[in-house]
Amino acid sequence: MDIITGTRKIFFESIVISLGDNHIRHLPQNQQYDNEKAIKKKKKRHRMLTDINFMNMALDEARKAFDQDEVPVGAVLVQDGHVLAQSHNAPVAGNDASAHAEMLAIRKACAIAGNYRLNGAELFVTLEPCIMCAGAILQARLARVVFGARDPKAGAVCSLYHILTDNRLNHQVDVTEGILREECGEILSRFFREKRIRAESAIK
């Protein structure tokens, strides 16, 4: 008990929550902690479901690339929860070495937004971005990148380099990996497997 200016002041181990102008309820700290934990868990689950939905859209783009005999990588660019642009690999069709799914999605989104900066935007891509795409992601000032499968031979986000989280650079990006990893990896494996079979058949 503490006496301050003649008024008794009781120190609670509790959190005070306002319920209106005339009502105050004291919630024990452990209950408040449990509530906050439940809210965080719910938000995390919601984000996971949202990530899965957008990654499924990116996979649809990858399937389009597969059907066009392009390396099956798809990308979806989202801002404020809405799809701004989506694309898939198309270097063969366009005779353009830079026509990766991420690059094309960023170009489309910038044109739609009327701005070369895409502050707050999120990119969902089925394969870990390469050095070129990671550079474009930084230049566009994306806030977050979500990718499915790692690329051990060219990945510049987690595998070979950590470009998006390098604090020596003037912008960093939040990274989430492994969303629908198996599905994203399987379509790539199937593409190259079938390509090898066709090549071997041609030799025979």
Single out the catalytic residue among 102, 177, 182, 186: 102
Closest CA to 124 of 43, 47, 42, 68: 47
200 is catalytic: no
- What are the helix (H) ranges across the chain? 29-67, 91-94, 101-113, 131-139, 181-203
Angle CA(143)–CA(102)–CA(171) in degrees, nearest 5? 30
Say how many C-beta atoms besides its own lie within 10 A of residue 172's C-beta: 15
CA 27 to chain centroid, in Å, comes to: 36
Q: Which residues are catalytic?
A: 102
